[in-house]
Chains A and B, each alone.
Chain A
């Protein structure tokens, strides 16, 4: 079962949230990566039939997503928003979703889904008393209750502790190996890298890159990197570094020097060797552009 986006755009007045995006989601896990405000949520809402595309088309298994409630039999959407009906218990919430879906045995479907996300122990507590991570898992269980073939999850790992995250990733991988089409959005590269077979990078509402997660990771690491280095003899160290072919520039700044390198691997391996050969002590090495925003801005330029 596939989800197809053809030249999809969404704008609000003069603000373009999603700009001419095309891709096909196939069975397996696809990661939608992008900084906050990139348009990930808007794109997921378009795919979930909750927003009308301003241009282009979104189809789920050949059926237009907008204005087709019947498609929700095969699609499950987990919103990022924490809001759930606070007066329901976890079990009642998941069972409600199963009943709204018309599942034949909503009670056992709810129990099964809650067990899948390891929430059976807390299922009879009101959702109002749940932690953020527990709410996330209850929301995912609500979707699992009708066993959809397509799952769209908006920042599902938010608020989960590392153990829950690992458990959830394993569960999603299991669901994907059964042939489901799963899209997971995140603004954290490692999350997407660990779980997704394919990665879509969304920046400023545009699809900046897409491909197998290995290729995207390489694209993100094979780029110029900048470090601030401080040693007990910056001038001698600078001369040795400049002599390397992969060094783009060295600049003296207050409190050390800023080094720009075209090859992260060569730089990190050679720096300690150079320091040792010249009898220099390294006092501080700080990467200065490791934020996701700088990685993304590099991708846009690339």
Chain B
């Protein structure tokens, strides 16, 4: 059994505890607020250009990874750090199920917040303009990114106590700076996979933007990263040792 319903319920409560729900909801609401402001003050600007840059620069670059990072560290990293993970590990539950349940819940909550954000912000800013495929494309990209970032950050949290710091460094240094410098780094950037997905689906109706990474390569790499992260996390938790000298 890959999903444990009790662990899933516990994880949702962990993700939303300590006013964390407020923080992630505000982050997800940011694009919607931007869209409302655009409608109020920039009615003459090109709505399509605005939506593309808002969804790629705000949602895919900031909202998706930061929400995934916050939730992944709350969903397992904190539990490992403070030792409460003992209450999961001393139960007749396969450690594989613990990892897969945690990843799916964190990915699911991250995706839900971001997909709702993309759809609402897109609908508000486009104001009836027919660009459904564009919105669907970005929503699909955000969902893919949510799953990949959730798996990556959860793996980092199991790998080291500084998982959150390493995750942030990856976002700022690798995805923010290096992947813009030369094309080779784009192959290892979740942000580029999201953009490729968005572009591939949007292109069915409109050619308003393009992604530098071919979508087939992005999807193969997404699969590779997902399998590596899930596989490594399972292996890591299976051999995870709890306890100190004393």
Interface residues of A (CB under 8 A from B): 12, 15, 17, 36-42, 44-46, 48-52, 67, 69-73, 75-77, 79, 81, 83-88, 96-97, 99-102, 142
Contacts and interface: CB of A to CB of B under 8 A. Distances in A.
8 residue pairs, one from A and one from B, having the closest CB atoms: A45-B243, A87-B17, A17-B245, A50-B242, A100-B91, A83-B82, A81-B83, A99-B6
Contacts of A77: 86, 90
B13 interface: yes
A215 B243 CA distance: 31
B86 A81 contact: yes
Interface in B77-92: 82-84, 86-92
Given A73-B92, A87-B17, 7 more contacts: A37-B245, A41-B243, A45-B242, A79-B83, A79-B86, A83-B82, A100-B87
B88 to A, nearest CB: 7
B92 A102 contact: yes
A204 to B, nearest CB: 11
A165 B143 CA distance: 53
Contacts of B88: 100
B91 to A, nearest CB: 4
B178 interface: no
Given A12-B245, A42-B244, A52-B239, A83 B92 contact: no
How many chain B residues sit at the interface, stated as a range, is 20 to 34
Contacts of B89: 50
Q: Which of A75, A83, A102 has the most CB of B within 10 A?
A: A83
A69 B93 contact: yes
B128 interface: no
A85 B14 contact: yes
B80 to A, nearest CB: 11
A96 B79 CA distance: 15
Looking at chain B's contact residues, the main secondary structure is loop
B245 A39 contact: yes
A114 B209 CA distance: 61
Interface in B222-246: 238-239, 241-246
B95 interface: yes
A37 B245 CA distance: 7
B188 interface: no
B245 A72 contact: no
B104 interface: no
A50 to B, nearest CB: 4
B94 interface: yes
A17 to B, nearest CB: 4
B91 A101 contact: yes
Contacts of A102: 92
A67 B244 CA distance: 19
Contacts of B95: 69
Contact of B83 (A38, A72, A83): A83
Nearest to A142: B87
B220 interface: no
A102 B5 CA distance: 11
Contacts of B166: none
Contact of A70 (B84, B92, B243): B92
Given A69-B93, A87-B17, A96 B246 contact: no
A5 to B, nearest CB: 15
Contacts of B94: 69
B90 A48 contact: yes
B148 to A, nearest CB: 28
B10 interface: yes
Given A37-B246, A72-B92, A73-B92, A52 B87 contact: no
Nearest to B86: A79
Q: Which of B88, B89, B91, B243 has the most CB of A within 10 A?
A: B243
B52 interface: no
Contacts of B87: 84-85, 96-97, 100, 142
A45 B88 CA distance: 14
Contact of B246 (A40, A49, A87, A88): A40
B112 interface: no
B11 to A, nearest CB: 11
Nearest to A48: B90
B18 interface: yes
